């Protein structure tokens, strides 16, 4: 089973929204995965246990794990592109 981190910079509100939309995307494509919501500051301690990181803000470092910007799930612009990227990493 795959594991995904969805991280935001603050109080987890935006990561909850993005995680919900990613969960729906995965279910629509019959992909089983665990989604972990956290703050950006918590990624480092969790990165060895995940297959993909999705953030709601720009990240200027590498975690050694594929990392995508999840803002399109909040703005609506570019959702299909980032959805395709997520699916390519998990299939």
Catalytic positions are 8
Question: 40 and 67 in contact (C-beta within 8 Å)?
Answer: no
- Please, is 5 exposed, middle or buried when counting C-beta atoms within 10 Å of its C-beta (0-12, 13-18, 19+)? buried
Question: 52 and 68 in contact (C-beta within 8 Å)?
Answer: yes
């Amino acid at each position: 089973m795959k594991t995904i981190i969805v991280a935001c910079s603050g109080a987890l509100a935006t990561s909850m929204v993005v995680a919900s939309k990613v969960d729906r995307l995965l279910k629509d494509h019959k992909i089983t995965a665990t989604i972990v919501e956290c703050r950006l500051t918590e990624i480092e301690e969790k990165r060895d246990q995940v297959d993909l990181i999705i953030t709601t803000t720009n990240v200027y470092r590498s975690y050694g794990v594929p990392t995508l910007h999840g803002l399109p799930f909040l703005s609506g612009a570019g959702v299909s592109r980032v959805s395709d990227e997520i699916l390519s990493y998990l299939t």
